[in-house]
């Protein structure tokens, strides 16, 4: 179904009246953001798709509980994606892996060496920033994604993460600090080039 530009709430009301196909518009509208958030919790694209799909299905099932006058649909959906991602991690028992895990740094080294080779041909700033985000913990990567890509406000992110705005600001600040450290550690030359521009 084509995205006709209707507001989310209009589409939701249409779905609740029985027009199931209208939900396609919402899925298409938010699937990229939902998938990107899910990728923060999954190790691969297949798992991320599974998380994002589960989230959309849960959102459909509990659409009657969505309070249109209190929040945006995107905020509510990203809350479901985040919680589904966390449940996924708990099931896979990956949540307790610390950042000192050897596998994390091993994969970072592989990314780094791969990046250097690619950057000889073309300086992909986009790839560097996004690869650096992948090196963060799921919680740090998620808050960066919600703030910069999903363009959620601090209040909306607080709702999604279940914290207050002060705690959200602190978490965002720490996530950015860690991201900067990751970039300086694993992509030092590229970061130096960027700072010199």
Partner 1 sequence: MNNEQHIDEQLWKYIDGFAAAEERTAIEELIRHNLDWKQRYDELLNLQQMLQQYTETEEPSMRFTQNVMDQVAMIKVAKATGAYINKKIIRGLALFFIITIASVMIFNLGHINWSSTGTATGSLDTGLDKVEPGKYLNSTVINIVIMLNVILGLALFDRYLTNKKKKATEL
The count of C-alpha atoms lying within 13 angstroms of the C-alpha of 57, restricted to the half-sphere facing its C-beta, is: 7
The count of C-alpha atoms lying within 13 angstroms of the C-alpha of 52, restricted to the half-sphere facing its C-beta, is: 21
DSSP for 101-169 reads -HHHHHHHHHHHHHHHHHHHH---HHHHHHHHHHTS-HHHHHHHIIIIIS---HHHHHHHHT--HHHHH
**Among the listed residues 49, 68, 83, 104, the single contact to partner 1 using CB under 8 A:** 49
Cα three-residue angle 159-93-96, rounded to 5 degrees: 70
The count of C-alpha atoms lying within 13 angstroms of the C-alpha of 82, restricted to the half-sphere facing its C-beta, is: 23
Nearest distance, CB of residue 113 and partner 1, angstroms: 21
CB nearer to partner 1: pick between 108 and 161: 161
Interface of this chain with partner 1, residues 1 to 20, rule: CB under 8 A: 15-16, 20
Site string (90-129) toward partner 1, x via CB under 8 A: ------x-x--------------------------xx-xx
157 binds partner 1 (CB under 8 A): no
188 binds partner 1 (CB under 8 A): no
Nearest distance, CB of residue 187 and partner 1, angstroms: 11
d(CA 74, CA 93): 28
39 binds partner 1 (CB under 8 A): yes
Closest to 34 (Cα-Cα) out of 70, 3, 80: 80
Segment interacting with partner 1 (CB under 8 A) among 2-10, 102-110, 115-123, 174-182: 174-182
Cβ atoms of residues 171 and 143 within 8 Å: yes
d(CA 185, CA 13): 49
Nearest distance, CB of residue 49 and partner 1, angstroms: 5
**Binding residues for partner 1 (CB under 8 A):** 15-16, 20-21, 23-24, 27-28, 31-33, 35-36, 39, 45, 48-49, 52-53, 56-57, 60-65, 96, 98, 125-126, 128-130, 133, 137, 139, 144-145, 148-149, 154, 169, 171-174, 176-177, 179-180, 183, 194-195
């Amino acid at each position: 179904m084509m995205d006709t530009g209707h507001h989310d709430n209009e589409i939701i009301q249409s779905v609740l009246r029985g027009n199931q196909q209208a939900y396609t518009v919402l899925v298409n509208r938010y699937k990229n953001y939902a998938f990107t958030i899910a990728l923060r919790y999954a190790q691969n694209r297949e798992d991320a798709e599974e998380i994002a799909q589960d989230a959309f299905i849960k959102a459909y099932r509990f659409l009657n509980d969505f309070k249109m006058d209190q929040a945006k649909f995107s905020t509510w959906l990203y809350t479901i994606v985040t919680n589904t991602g966390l449940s996924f991690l708990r099931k896979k028992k990956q949540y307790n892996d610390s950042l000192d895990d050897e596998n994390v740094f091993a994969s970072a080294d592989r990314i780094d060496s791969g990046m250097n080779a690619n950057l000889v041909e073309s300086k992909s700033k986009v790839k560097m920033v996004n690869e650096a985000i992948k090196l963060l913990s799921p919680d740090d990567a998620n808050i960066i994604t919600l703030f910069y890509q999903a363009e959620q406000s601090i209040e909306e992110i607080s709702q999604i993460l279940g914290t207050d705005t002060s705690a959200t600001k602190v978490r965002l600040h720490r996530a950015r600090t860690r991201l900067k450290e990751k970039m300086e550690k694993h992509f030092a030359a590229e970061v130096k080039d960027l700072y010199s521009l």
